[in-house]
Chains A and B, each alone.
Chain A
Amino acid sequence: MIHFYFAKLRNFSAYRKVMKLFLLSFVYFFLSFGLPAKKKNSTTELIQPLININNLGAGNIAAIKVWPKVASLPASDVLVLLEAMNQANPLGDNWIRGAISKICELDKTSLPINKIVEFLNNQSNQDEARQMAYEIIKAYRPTIAYKLAPSFIDDPAVDLRRISVALMIDRIEDIESEEKKKKLLLNTLTKAREVDQIKEISETLKKMGQDINIIKLMGFLVNWHTVGPFDNKERNGFDQKFQPEEKTDLNQKYKSMGEIITWSPFSTKEEFGMLDINQQYGEIKEVCAYAQTTFYSKNSKPAHFRVGSKNAWKLWLNGKLLFARDEYHRGKTRVDQFIIEGDLKKGKNLILLKVCQNEQTQSWTKQWEFNFRVTDRTGSAIHNAESEPN
């Protein structure tokens, strides 16, 4: 149709010129947009089996077939692989990491570094993919990585933010003015999200005479009600459904091990929110206790429920079991030892924790304890709103 229209032009040379221009434009358009788009599509298609990888080895056979081709892509395609990491799960990420590693090994010079920097700076990309982008830049353009590092101080990606916080800690160390140092440390403390960095900064501040409320800073839940003990002979109590798993009313009375037991308030002022259940019931063995607290959320949102305990435990949120861990005294209780994903609902949320003690008698097995906090995915504390939101 288009060709027919131009054929109607009276001046044939003009027709030829217009046709030439049109064809050139078409070729230019095709080369500029068509081919790369097609190529990008075919690359994306090639990578798809690595994105489709799932647990129990699902997708392995398809991934095995395409991986050598993916690992042979030109270095300019690394960006497409980083974009693929936005869609892949952690297993798929590793398949893609392996390919990126191979590509970079073969061609260190053609990496689209500027585009990778853009990808890194775009916080809508997934944390793991951005972290990978940073690792590529660090490995092949370390000076650019060094310049970028301070910019991650408010980054939602925990590992990137950590780099910036570590850099700040190092820089502050060299400052002579105590006042300036304290001010900068206090600011850095609000930026840190990981317990080792928070400990390091707060200890320095404490030595400088500055009080730090870590419970508030990290959002440890320190006010609970507990009920117990329940029987855990031969560790059978872990799987036994005692009454508090069905009736959580704080006025409820339960019969356990020949006694009538009731909920009682339980709180802690320990710096990192540790709740020592032995203080409630004495250092007894082969028992379980339940702890519950009410957590008010301003809105419905996904959250991380971070449990620390060296005892066996189960966690319910609003009556739904989120995770259970049947292990006793394998190492010490740590902050953020287990990070469990869940969804807070707007308003009142009931958090119920079962903590079990076993039969071991060694001195290092007497602890019956836990710590607990609620955070967003970056590790920033979500504080209890304390009452129903308006």
Chain B
Amino acid sequence: MLNLNPIEINMKKLFSLILFFFLNNLSHADWLNFRGTLGNGQASVNSVSKLSITSPTSWKAKLPGRGLSSPILVKDKIYITASSGPKQETLHILCFSQDEGKLEWERKFRSTGRTICHEKTCVAAPTMTSDGKVVIAQFSSNDVFCLDLKGDLIWLRGLTYDFPNAANGLGMSSSPVIAQGVLIAQVENDADSFTTGIDLKNGMSIWRKIRPKGANWTSPVLLGSGAKQKVALQSKNGISIINPKTGEEYWSFEEGASTIPSSTPIGEILLVPSNGMTALKGRIDQKSHTQLWQDNKLGPGTGSPTVSGDYFLVINKANVLTCAQITTGEILWRMRIKGPSSGSPVATSSHLYFFNEDGLGQVIKINQSEGKLVSGVDLEETILCTPAISENALFVRSDRHLWRLSEN
């Protein structure tokens, strides 16, 4: 029998605790925004080469309403939104456990903004965001909620309640981001178009920037990190790189950009869906940029490009997947996939994952010289969202269900 004194016991407990948190964090990689923590669809985790509905670690959970929003992953939980009711006026924010798919909590609110949308989309279109401590849910009605990880309300805003013309008759889908303690909510439309910076602590607007009038379904993306972190706003006019704390513009690109697929950041480089695809890089003076390349053969369809290592992948309107070099735009290979798809692809260093609208998930093994379809999974429901990647698992949702898909 091992005899331990109290100090040794406490040390042992402490060590176990540290080990637990270490392993826990190791097995649950965060996915904090639309298209991941980096906002470019890339995950640095172990890949799965097969997505199984029936594997022992896979599960399927029922959702209380419609949604195109993607799941986000914080620690060992999944956070997701849904909307229900005859006018989709009920806004749901849900938390599930990653391992079992158990519903941990649900909060229900009512929309204070407009809920009319095109039939294909719905009020729960924007994806949530998190800084690892709080979660933010924005809806097409421009209701914004900040909750802690246990589901306690911290603050809320009704941006269409504040500005009654801030709405899009087809629905809005821009997913917010958090940069330097500021929530960036893009509320861009034909009638009253703006982006606002909201203090994460109390929900008060720090700044409000009038933006080009025009329907805009793109999402802001983060450039860099820490105190130098910037935010890229995209509109039909092009790109505006701003300081998240003030809304002031560092530099802009004014050759126009898509209003559906969003830009993709990779370090200091920004891939913009403009004239096909345009790669931009900010200069050291922070007031101007360099255009690295432009190629009209690299234009995306509805989904945004994703990144894997030194190259990026884009699916066009004709359901062709193209792999190209980030720094040069050189096309490395192309292959046809089974579309059409509304969500964006996501990738690890070795695999690309995406779902078409019929619910067919496709896993493609990728490297610099080729892409090869290695497996598929048919969820038999319409899938319009972008999946989230965790260690050895993929999370995806439909209007009715949320899945964890693992290999074994």
Interface residues of A (CB under 8 A from B): 55-57, 60-61, 63-64, 67-68, 71, 90-91, 93-95, 97-99, 101-102, 105, 128, 135, 159, 162, 194, 196, 310, 323-328, 330-331, 334, 337
Contact = CB atoms under 8 A, between A and B. Distances in A.
Chain A interface, DSSP helix/strand/loop, else mixed: helix
B287 interface: no
Interface in B119-170: 143, 145, 151-158, 161-162, 164-165, 168-170
A94 to B, nearest CB: 5
Nearest to B213: A326
B203 A328 contact: no
B110 A330 contact: no
Contacts of B215: 330
B14 interface: no
B112 A94 contact: yes
A57 B109 contact: no
A216 B198 CA distance: 47
A9 to B, nearest CB: 59
Contact of A91 (B161, B170, B198, B205): B161
Contact of A331 (B105, B107, B161, B170): B170
A304 to B, nearest CB: 15
Contacts of A64: 154-155, 202-203
A327 B153 contact: no
A138 to B, nearest CB: 12
Contact of A95 (B108, B156, B202, B205): B156
Contacts of A331: 116-118, 169-170
A128 B90 CA distance: 12
Given A91-B161, A334-B116, A99 B153 contact: yes
B96 to A, nearest CB: 15
Nearest to A331: B169
Given A57-B204, A71-B153, A128-B110, 18 more contacts: A56-B162, A56-B205, A57-B157, A60-B203, A61-B202, A64-B154, A67-B154, A93-B110, A94-B156, A95-B156, A98-B153, A159-B86, A310-B169, A327-B169, A330-B169, A330-B190, A331-B169, A331-B170
B189 interface: yes
B191 interface: yes
Contacts of A334: 116
A371 B86 CA distance: 21
Contacts of A327: 168-169, 189-191
A71 B106 CA distance: 15
A328 B86 contact: no
Contacts of B198: 57
Contacts of B165: 324-326
A60 to B, nearest CB: 5
Contacts of B168: 327, 330
Contacts of B213: 326
Nearest to A97: B109
Closest 9 CB pairs of A and B: A330-B169, A98-B153, A327-B190, A331-B169, A90-B112, A57-B204, A55-B162, A94-B109, A330-B170
Given A97-B109, A310-B169, A327-B169, A91 B116 contact: no
B195 to A, nearest CB: 16
B109 A98 contact: yes
